[in-house]
Every structure is written in C-alpha cells, then in structure tokens.
Amino acid sequence: MLVVGEAGAGGLLGHSEGLGDLRHRFLFSAGEEPGGGRADPGDDLLQFVGGGNCYAPLYPLDEAVPKRPVTPAQKAVLDRARELQYVCRRCGDRREYPLGRGRWCEPCSYAAALFAPHSTAQRFTRELVEDQTGNVLVVGAGPDEYAEPETVGVLRIHDQELLHAGPAGTYGTPERGAVLDRLDELLEGRRVVHETGMGPGSRFPARLVTLPGQLMSSERDSLHAWLRPYRESAEGAAYVSRLWRGWFAWTRDQWSTTASEPWDQEHGVRVAWDRTTDSAADVLGLAMVLDRIADGTEPVWEEARWIADGHGEPDLLERRRWRETVEA
C-alpha cells in the first residue's frame, strides 16, 4: 500500500500515474471506467487527510474501457430524482435547497415529529388495554401540590373492574399500613400504571409513604413494587398522562416538537379526566380515556400540526423504511 501525506487531487494522481494505475473517480472524469479487476491491493493509496485516513483503491490503466453512456430513460429518472430532492413528499412544496433523504420540509418535519408520539401512544395504549395484568393506581387528593392523600383506587384496565377503593388513612397509622399491605397483595407481580409523573405531587403514589411536609424521594421506591410504574422504555406506558399528552398533541407554540399538557394562564393545566378526592371515580375516568385512545375516539387537539396544516397524517411507515434502509 502506498501511503502519502496531505495532498490535493493532483498529488494523488501523480502517485497513481507513477504506478500505471488510476483511482476510480479519475477514470470516470476521463470518460472511462475500470475494465478489469483492481490493481495489486498492496499498491492502493492511503492518504492522511485532516486527521483521518482516505483509502483509495487503484485500477489498472491499461484495462480501462470507455464509460457506458447514460440512456435517455436513465437520464430522465436521474433528472426526476434530482428535482424531487427539492420537493416535500408530503405537502408538495418546493424549496430552494435539497431536503435530504427524508424529503420533508420544515413544517412537515414538525408535523411528523408530533404525529410519531401520537401514533406511539395509541400503540402502547392498545397493548395496555389488552393486557389482563394491567392496573391503574390513583391517589385522590386535594388540588394543593402538597395535599395529603385522602383516598386510593386501583382498577384493572382490561375489564374496568374496580379492585380497591377506600380511604388512604393517615401516615404512620394502622389504617395507612393496612392500605399499603392491601396494595402489595393486589398488585404483586402485576403491571402497574400511574396517573401522572409530572404532578400535582399530591397524586403521586409515593406520597403514601412520605412523611407529611417532606419532599418525596425515590429512596423509598424499593419498599413497594407498585411505587415504580411499569415501563418498557423511556416513552413506554408508565403514566396515563404521558399517553394522553402524546395523543392529544398540544404544543405551546408552532415550532415545538414536544407535546405538553394543555395550559393557560386562566385555567392552568387541563386534562381529559377529573382530579378529585374520589379516587374510585377518577380511576374509572382514566380507564375510559385509555379505551378511547385505544379505539381512536379520544379527541385530538384541533390545532395539532398534522390537522391544522391540512395535509393529513404523515406517512411514518415510509419514513421508518427509509431509516431502516439507511441504518442497514
């Protein structure tokens, strides 16, 4: 192998000609192409460029043949492909620059980025609804962030059977201990989903094992398996609020690619279910939301990006195929 330092194309060509061989691209630029096998691999070029290596196989010059011309049909296909690089494959808008292999313009990229978690939320929800071991655990509490738990409810999602509903008791009392024991018994080895992972904190199951007035800590999660919601991945079905947030697809501004829970100055955070001290009613409302997401009847924000732009749902399957092809 011939090793050379940093040099331009002319330097490489000079070394190549000295061996009677040419690099592939130099043959093409001369209207020829390799006509036989490669030269001796030991004569290949290895050039150091910008801190990295540039490997250049060589081909015998005396075996070069005239380059095959492009047929009219091939040229038409290539011209069409070059033209399509500037056209969004979803909305058809043309840009002044190539859109890349995905061929999404910026607005359609934002729409696709929001539609992906919307679609994923439905897939995860359907799996959750069909899972006969899936349960929703809800802590009923007042609206204050640091309100103490008042009731606890557990519902099996598959058939919406209420497995437990009752007072939460007071921290440190036998009543609270009995509730914790009951939850351990009901939820052992079962899939548990929480209402929310973003607040209000008064509705976190961890509040049941936290001393009043103190901050919640994950250090106590090992005390009870149901304190850790089931998750298959970072975006998995661990919280109903996360599934609904992805499905509803509300965003704070037109350039955001992350769905949030709807919020405004007057009403604060708004969700599709009630948050009261009656955990039995609240947990049933959550199960109904999951059912509607699974069958596609749960409302979606009327200004969701793929709805507002009028171009319909992005073709994520085509995007996924392209990504798999690139990764392969």
Domain ranges of the chain: 2-66, 70-103, 110-308
Token pair 């100055």 is found at: 265
Classify residue 202 as exposed, middle or buried by CB count within 10 Å of its CB (0-12, 13-18, 19+).
buried
Q: How confident is the model at residue 19, as a pLDDT?
A: 40
The pLDDT of residue 231 is above 70: no
From residue 177, alpha-carbon distances to 40, 170, 194, 224 in Å are 80, 9, 20, 12
Under the phi-then-psi rule, with left for phi > 0, alpha for psi from -120 to 50, and beta for the rest, what region is 6? beta
Among 157-171, 262-276, 292-306, the least confident range: 262-276
Residue 67 has what DSSP assignment?
A: P
Among 282, 235, 283, 241, smallest CA distance to 263 is for 241
Kindly report, residue by residue over 8-43, the tens digit of the pLDDT. Answer: 333 333 334 434 445 556 666 666 666 655 545 544
Kindly report, residue by residue over 168-209, the tens digit of the pLDDT. Answer: 999 999 999 999 999 999 999 899 999 988 878 899 999 999
The helix or strand, by DSSP H or E, that contains position 226, with its residue range, turns out to be: none
Residue count of the chain: 328
Token pair 């598959």 is found at: 158
Q: Contact 57/44 with Cβ under 8 angstroms?
A: yes
Better-predicted residue by pLDDT, 237 or 78: 78
SS3 230: coil
The whole-number average pLDDT for the span 40-57 is 50
Better-predicted residue by pLDDT, 87 or 230: 87
The whole-number average pLDDT for the span 52-57 is 59
The pLDDT of residue 255 is above 60: yes
Which amino acid, one-letter code, is at 236?
G
Tokens standing for residue 72:
């009219």
